[in-house]
């Protein structure tokens, strides 16, 4: 019998829901609010999917979990970033406590909970965002086949930020609705067939839709077009109306089971109308110094990300080119911290976040930290648009032994309405009046939602709560002790007076509640990165190349990713059309053929390539010096051979593929010298191409 159902709506916000409720568009949600309680649910800082869902599951703030974004460091003196995986959840989450104490628990589509693990005799886990979508995403193992049967092919994500959806909102809306239909079918099956005591299911399409469709939905958005297709303007409303139907289905099951239903979101949402290019701005202030590199390396780290955004409209017109772009882009994969002069730089922002600023100091000198903070405090906008920057040190936001793993400086601009983009820009402006991309016109906010209803819930006015309160509240509702490590409090005001009279709040050490700790499954940071890239959460792809050929020319094989030693063969033929006229194109002077020998060496024959760049501010087509293809492919060859021979620093560490002047980012600990000196003394310089 099911006692409690928790439905997670990623990114749900009263900013969107209240107007829809007032217009009568969400009758099922309205009914749950009227018979129970509802209010805001404050997220983690920053309000980002990965740390927020983990804190909801564990009741712990990021200072204890050590998770501040999708990629995090595991040691305070390291700049190696590892992905969040199920090992951070295991033996820490409320469902582990409940399973250990005899409750059957089902967890469905929970972000970053991969790989899944056994959850008691009758429990189950279905991994969500960050998982590969294959047969390894469920425990028990055979559950994936069952989900395939009931959904017609179970899927993990819709890559809304993928270029194939640019200027194709109808296609994205269709795919999101299809995904939601499958989510509903899967949850209905799991509830009716498995009937766990506690069920926690997450719907992610709400987050993806709000990122993409905010500019169509919000008349005040800087990209809003009043003449846009009416279907595009209604897309977000229509998706929420479909979500409301899912709420109705789960609510109906909860009523049949006499179960409580709790609806929660990991964070809120709002418009993104500006973008600050943080690393470019830091360089302008002399706080971050780019490494002197070859032309090829500069193209990889600085210009190609910009060029990739320029050619996205082409992919939207010809979606078949999308896989080609991804394949070539992966061939020149960079790292989160490419292109830094470690000796002269004071601070840098890794390329993995848009929600707020995350800065890592390269100096232990407090004066350097103070100088960075002063620079932001004195920030002036030459366009005279008002901006408000709030700056935080980690100890001001977090508590716990892992606070030292947090970024050294965090900041927000205009209460998250201004994105902070660590990627480079070719514009001479560091602050622009538009979002970083059209697909990210909406962004995260601190204020999420909760709605509680059911036989044990008192119908009364709700009170604001914290995301840390959800786990202890569930423990309280099920009559179990609350782990002492949890930061939140049980929301006793949700429950009827009679229910409270039967319950008391008891706390115990977590280790006493979950039993002996089991070995956690290992994660693969590199693979998780790849799954997150087309959702716009991180940017490890340094470029995407688009190649134009003559009438009889073709390219045989795309550059093989340096982190992979397997041969990757493609055959692509094109017609002699200027696909990217007015932007940029690579023009082989003669045929190009790349072949692999012994899987680690590349032979290039008789080819050179011209890169032509069309400046968006000028009608003049400017050409750069021709670059021999041997140089480009040779750098890949060097990276492949070096990666094959260089041992990994530690299991699960991020694979680095920086072929020119690549340096180890591992810091030695225990030294009395400065952080910058430790950095320099531990660098390992690989051969230059």
pLDDT digits (tens, 9 = 90+) for 463-514: 999 999 999 999 999 999 999 999 999 999 999 999 999 999 999 999 999 9
HSE-up of 199 (CA within 13 Å, CB side)?
26
Note the pLDDT of residue 94.
Answer: 98
Do 466 and 42 contact (CB within 8 A), yes or no?
Answer: yes
230-257 and 27-34 helices, crossing angle to 10° = 50
**Sign of the C-alpha dihedral computed for residues 559, 561, 565 and 571 taken in this order:** negative
Peptide bond into 46 cis (omega under 30): yes
Note the pLDDT of residue 543.
Answer: 29
Q: Residue 616: is its pLDDT beyond 80?
A: no
Note the pLDDT of residue 278.
Answer: 94
Radius of gyration over alpha carbons of the chain, in Å?
A: 26
Note the pLDDT of residue 292.
Answer: 76
Between CA 246 and CA 251 the distance in angstroms is 8
Note the pLDDT of residue 599.
Answer: 30
Note the pLDDT of residue 635.
Answer: 32
Q: Measuring CA to CA, which residue among 107, 109, 193, 198 is closest to residue 149?
A: 193
> Which SS3 state, helix, strand or coil, does residue 372 take?
helix
- pLDDT tens readout for residues 348-407: 998 888 999 999 999 999 999 999 999 999 887 655 567 899 999 999 999 999 999 999
- pLDDT tens readout for residues 391-404: 999 999 999 999 99
- pLDDT tens readout for residues 596-605: 333 332 233 3
Note the pLDDT of residue 339.
Answer: 73
Going by pLDDT thresholds of 50, 70 and 90, the confidence category of residue 80 is confident
Q: Residue 44: is its pLDDT beyond 90?
A: yes
Q: Measuring CA to CA, which residue among 643, 664, 626 is closest to residue 562?
A: 643
Share of the chain above pLDDT 90, in %: 60
Q: Residues 572-581: what's their mean pLDDT? A: 29
Kindly provide the residue ranges of all beta strands, DSSP E only, lying in 528-607, ordered along the sequence.
Answer: 554-556, 571-573, 584-588, 592-597, 601-604
> Which SS3 state, helix, strand or coil, does residue 443 take?
strand
Note the pLDDT of residue 166.
Answer: 85
Tokens in use for 202?
A: 């997450």
Q: Residues 610-629: what's their mean pLDDT? A: 31
230-257 and 169-189 helices, crossing angle to 10° = 10
Between CA 251 and CA 31 the distance in angstroms is 10
Note the pLDDT of residue 529.
Answer: 54
Note the pLDDT of residue 54.
Answer: 98
Tokens in use for 104?
A: 């059957």
Q: Residue 678: is its pLDDT beyond 80?
A: no
Q: What is the pTM of this model?
A: 0.75
Average of per-residue pLDDT values in the chain: 77
Q: Residues 57-67: what's their mean pLDDT? A: 98
Q: Which residue has the tokens 């060097």?
A: 638
Q: Residue 265: is its pLDDT beyond 80?
A: yes
Angle at 185 between CA 89 and CA 259, to 5 degrees: 65
Note the pLDDT of residue 79.
Answer: 85
Going by pLDDT thresholds of 50, 70 and 90, the confidence category of residue 608 is very low
DSSP string, 182-237: HHHHHHHHIIIII--SEEEEEE-HHHHHHHHHHHHH-TTSTT--TTS-HHHHHHHH
Q: Residues 26-37: what's their mean pLDDT? A: 98
- pLDDT tens readout for residues 436-453: 999 999 999 999 999 999
Note the pLDDT of residue 183.
Answer: 98
Which has more pLDDT, 401 or 653?
Answer: 401
Going by pLDDT thresholds of 50, 70 and 90, the confidence category of residue 594 is very low
The CA-atom distances, in angstroms, between 374 and each of 348, 390, 651, 657 are 16, 12, 39, 35
Buried b (16+ CB within 10 A) or exposed e, 54-68: bbbbbbbbbbbbbbb
Between CA 358 and CA 350 the distance in angstroms is 8
Q: Output helix, strand, coil percentages for the chain, rounded to the nearest 5.
A: 35, 20, 45
Other beta carbons within 10 Å of 375: 17
Between CA 592 and CA 20 the distance in angstroms is 56
Going by pLDDT thresholds of 50, 70 and 90, the confidence category of residue 580 is very low
Q: Residues 20-34: what's their mean pLDDT? A: 98
Which residues contact residue 581 at a Cβ distance below 8 angstroms, ignoring those fewer than 6 apart?
Answer: none
Between CA 669 and CA 603 the distance in angstroms is 42
Other beta carbons within 10 Å of 449: 26
């Amino acid at each position: 019998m099911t006692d409690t159902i928790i439905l997670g709506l990623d990114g749900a916000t009263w900013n969107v829901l209240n107007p829809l409720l007032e217009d009568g568009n969400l009758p099922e949600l309205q009914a749950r609010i009227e018979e129970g309680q509802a209010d805001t649910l404050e997220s983690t800082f920053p309000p980002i999917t990965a740390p927020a869902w983990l804190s909801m599951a564990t009741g712990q703030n990021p200072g204890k979990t050590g998770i501040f974004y999708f990629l995090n460091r595991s040691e305070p003196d390291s700049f190696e970033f590892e992905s969040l995986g199920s090992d951070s959840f295991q033996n820490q989450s409320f469902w582990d406590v409940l399973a250990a104490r005899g409750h059957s628990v089902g967890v469905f589509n929970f972000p970053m909970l991969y790989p899944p693990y056994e959850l008691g005799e009758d429990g189950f886990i279905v991994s969500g965002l960050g998982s590969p979508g294959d047969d390894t995403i469920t425990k028990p193992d055979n559950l994936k086949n069952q989900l395939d049967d009931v959904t017609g092919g179970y899927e993990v994500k819709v890559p809304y930020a993928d270029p194939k959806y640019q200027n194709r909102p109808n296609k994205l809306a269709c795919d999101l609705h299809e995904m939601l239909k499958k989510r509903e079918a899967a949850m209905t099956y799991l509830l009716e067939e498995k009937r766990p005591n506690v069920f926690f299911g997450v719907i992610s399409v709400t987050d993806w839709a709000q990122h993409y469709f905010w500019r169509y939905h919000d008349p005040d958005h800087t990209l809003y077009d009043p003449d846009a297709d009416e279907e595009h303007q209604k897309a977000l409303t229509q998706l929420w109306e479909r979500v409301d139907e899912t709420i109705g289905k789960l609510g109906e099951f909860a009523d049949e089971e006499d179960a409580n239903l709790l609806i929660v979101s990991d964070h809120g949402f709002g418009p993104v109308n500006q973008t600050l290019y943080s690393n470019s701005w830091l360089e302008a202030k002399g706080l971050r110094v780019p490494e002197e590199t070859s032309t090829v390396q500069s193209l990889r780290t600085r210009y190609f990300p910009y060029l990739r955004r320029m050619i996205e409209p082409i992919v939207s017109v010809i979606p078949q080119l999308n896989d080609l772009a991804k394949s070539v882009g992966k061939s020149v994969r960079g790292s989160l911290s490419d292109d830094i002069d470690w000796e002269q730089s004071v601070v840098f922002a890794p390329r993995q976040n848009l929600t707020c600023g995350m800065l890592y100091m390269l100096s232990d000198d407090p004066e350097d930290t103070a100088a960075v903070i002063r620079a932001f405090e004195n920030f002036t906008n030459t366009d005279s648009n008002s901006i408000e920057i709030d700056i935080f040190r980690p100890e001001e936001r977090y508590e716990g032994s892992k606070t030292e793993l947090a970024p050294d400086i965090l900041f927000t601009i205009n209460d998250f309405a201004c994105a902070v983009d660590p990627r480079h820009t070719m514009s001479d402006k560091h602050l622009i009046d538009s979002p970083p991309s059209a697909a990210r016109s909406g962004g995260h906010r601190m204020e999420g939602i909760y709605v509680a209803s059911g036989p044990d819930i008192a119908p009364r006015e709700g009170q604001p709560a914290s995301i840390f309160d959800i786990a202890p509240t569930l423990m309280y509702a099920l009559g179990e002790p609350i782990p002492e490590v949890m930061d939140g409090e049980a929301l006793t005001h949700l429950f009827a007076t009679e229910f409270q009279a039967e319950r008391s709040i008891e706390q115990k050490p977590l280790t006493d509640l979950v039993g002996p700790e089991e070995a956690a499954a290992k994660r693969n940071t590199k693979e998780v990165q790849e799954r997150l890239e087309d959702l716009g959460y991180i940017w490890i792809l340094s470029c995407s190349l688009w190649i134009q050929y003559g009438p009889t020319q073709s390219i045989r094989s795309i550059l093989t990713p340096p982190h992979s030693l397997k041969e990757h063969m493609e055959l692509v033929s094109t017609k002699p059309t200027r696909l990217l006229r007015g932007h940029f194109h690579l023009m082989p002077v003669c045929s190009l053929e790349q072949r692999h020998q012994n899987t680690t060496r590349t032979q290039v024959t008789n080819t050179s390539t011209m890169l032509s760049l069309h400046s968006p501010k000028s009608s003049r087509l400017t050409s750069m010096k021709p670059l021999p293809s041997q140089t480009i492919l040779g750098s890949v060859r060097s990276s492949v051979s070096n990666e094959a021979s260089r041992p990994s620093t530690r299991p699960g560490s991020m694979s680095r593929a920086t072929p020119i002047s690549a340096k180890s980012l591992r810091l030695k600990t225990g030294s009395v010298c400065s952080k910058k000196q430790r950095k320099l003394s531990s660098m390992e310089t690989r051969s230059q191409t």
